Copies of this chain bind each other. A is one copy, B any other.
Amino acid sequence: MPVQQTTLSIRPKPRGFHLITRDIEQALQQFGKVEAGLLHVFIQHTSASLTINEDADPSVRQDFESHFNHMVPENAPYYLHTDEGPDDMPAHLKASLLGSSVTLPVTDGRLNVGTWQGVYLCEHRNNAGARRLVLTLTS
């Protein structure tokens, strides 16, 4: 079975950067143990994103929120797309800066990532609903 696929719904989260590594690992276990492969995790939204970063100290995730708010401000004078609220256009821009997917090596049935690496769901909207992920394992 070279390609296996499933979906995962992540319950609504507040604006900010959230670790979802355990959700990903649990979904990976459904696929059965593979010797070597790649896990692609895709978010089906344009105002939230996925990235990989430090999973130990929560202040790193707070600093992500602060820095992205600084680098992609609300109410920039050049925004035309403003109908859906001040957090909407920055959310789209942040989503493309961080990306809609991460691809992780899998070895002996487990994510083969570094000691301090975790998967972040980056929620860029103030009042978002659940976020849907598509997970695809190639092995």
Residues of A within 8 A of B (CB): 2-5, 36-38, 40, 42-46, 51-54, 57, 59-60, 62-64, 66-67, 70-72, 76, 78-81, 89, 92-93, 95-105, 107, 112-117, 120, 132, 134, 136, 138-139
Contact = CB atoms under 8 A, between A and B. Distances in A.
Contacts of A92: 53-54, 60, 63-64
Nearest to A35: B3
Main secondary structure of the interface of A (DSSP, over half): mixed
B36 A96 contact: no
A42 to B, nearest CB: 5
Contact of A63 (B53, B54, B89, B97): B89
Contacts of A120: 96
A129 B104 CA distance: 22
29 contacts: A2-B139, A3-B138, A4-B36, A37-B136, A38-B40, A38-B138, A40-B103, A42-B112, A44-B113, A44-B114, A44-B115, A52-B96, A57-B81, A59-B81, A60-B81, A63-B78, A63-B81, A63-B92, A64-B93, A66-B78, A67-B76, A96-B120, A97-B97, A100-B117, A103-B103, A107-B134, A112-B134, A114-B132, A138-B138
